[in-house]
Amino acid sequence: MTDIDIRKYIIENFKDDNAEKIKDSIETTIKSKDEDALIGLGVLFELLWSKLTEEEKQKNLDNIRQSIKNLAQN
């Protein structure tokens, strides 16, 4: 069995896409609720996270935490 570098595969897959195509891929993946596709979103999140300032990270963490609380209440 061949090992695949998921990060490399995802980056290679998106490298020539414009922002609109990436946005569409993100939204399509979220709507599909395909758990395998969520791996790709994790890679994209990792790329984003690595570029954020500490203040931006905290703001995103606050948003994620609030979203989790809201969903847990439903």
Q: Is residue 23 part of a domain?
A: yes
What is the value of pTM for the model shown?
0.81
DSSP for residue 22: H
In a domain, 53, yes or no: yes
| Other beta carbons less than 10 A from residue 49's beta carbon | 11
Give domain status of residue 13, yes or no: yes
Q: How far apart are CA 5 and CA 68, in angstroms?
A: 30
Amino acid residing at 49: W
Report the domain count for the chain: 1
Domain-embedded: residue 67: yes
Contact between residue 60 and residue 52 where contact means Cβ atoms under 8 Å apart: yes
Which pLDDT value is given to residue 48?
97
The residue type found at 57 is K
In a domain, 68, yes or no: yes
42 found inside a domain: yes
| Residue numbers of the domain that contains 55 | 6-73
Q: What would the mean pLDDT of 66-74 be, rounded to a whole number?
A: 93
Distance CA 59, CA 5 (A): 30
Q: Is 1 contained in some domain?
A: no
List, for residues 1-60, the tens digit of each pLDDT value: 467 799 999 999 999 999 999 999 999 999 998 898 889 999 999 999 999 999 999 999
